Chain A
């Protein structure tokens, strides 16, 4: 795992950060649309 940690965790971390960012931005847009 140690040899490939950067490639493996680089994939997972970026994916879940981007998905979380999409959810956060969407919830922000939802709040603004309701205001």
Chain B
């Protein structure tokens, strides 16, 4: 399979159309499984009670908010380096979904924080850096919308996306570098998971569901962008 064949918007357009329904279907099934495990299989948390079940959307949304930004910055960098049209389109297609997951992470975190921390919001490093991520997404979208020429908009947006990528390790390590009210990582590559296995299963299923959802909507959106720009 020659992957470079699909680097052109015109050849990627039908491929994206064929793939999107499969990812959408996978998202639906994984979300159904994740919610079932999260609500009917996983036990109640001994300390937090039922409100802990917010983690089944909060943690996956927070992961997606950072992951989508990294993918967006990579596409943006590819576009700057190789001047490929599809790269800028992919970055543009990812931004709204990334912004949405960032907002969901902040919203659900805030609603979880009130009963557990006693406050909706604190200006600690994790929350503040995640809020900055939302502003980066919105800035990227606004900047692209403000420039009429799509290729110039792609280049300007790419610079913002690449510079803003410095915020991702800051979000990730904020709970290590600073004393934050936000707790440390629930799942670590080196230390494993610090939660009960059924809770972890539900959370990972929902993370996969959000991942599949993001791919599906991004593929549909990039098809719209291709159609709008190139007819």
Q: Contact residue range for chain A?
A: 20 to 34
Say what secondary structure dominates the interface of chain B: helix
B51 at the interface (CB under 8 A from A): yes
Asked if B213 and A19 make an inter-chain contact with CB atoms under 8 angstroms apart, the answer reads yes
A7 and B108 CA atoms in complex are apart in Å by 8
A22 and B114 CA atoms in complex are apart in Å by 27
Q: Which residue of B57, B61, B111, B224 contacts A30 across the interface (Cβ within 8 Å)?
A: B224
CB distance from A21 to the nearest CB of B (A): 9
A4 and B111 CA atoms in complex are apart in Å by 10
Asked if B228 and A33 make an inter-chain contact with CB atoms under 8 angstroms apart, the answer reads yes
A18 and B224 CA atoms in complex are apart in Å by 20
A14 and B224 CA atoms in complex are apart in Å by 26
Residues of A within 8 A of B103 (CB): 18
Asked if A11 and B213 make an inter-chain contact with CB atoms under 8 angstroms apart, the answer reads no
Asked if B220 and A30 make an inter-chain contact with CB atoms under 8 angstroms apart, the answer reads yes
Q: Which residue of A11, A22, A29 contacts B107 across the interface (Cβ within 8 Å)?
A: A11
B104 at the interface (CB under 8 A from A): yes
A21 and B96 CA atoms in complex are apart in Å by 12
Asked if B227 and A26 make an inter-chain contact with CB atoms under 8 angstroms apart, the answer reads no
Residues of B within 8 A of A12 (CB): 57
Q: Which residue in chain B gives the minimum CB-CB distance to A31?
A: B224
Binding site for A on B (CB under 8 A): 49-51, 53-54, 57-58, 61, 96-97, 100, 103-104, 107-108, 111-112, 114-115, 213, 217, 220-221, 223-224, 227-228
What would 19 more interface pairs be, CB under 8 Å, given A4-B115, A11-B108, A34-B227?
A: A1-B50, A4-B50, A6-B111, A7-B111, A10-B111, A11-B57, A14-B108, A18-B104, A22-B100, A26-B217, A26-B220, A26-B221, A26-B224, A27-B220, A30-B223, A30-B224, A33-B223, A33-B224, A33-B228
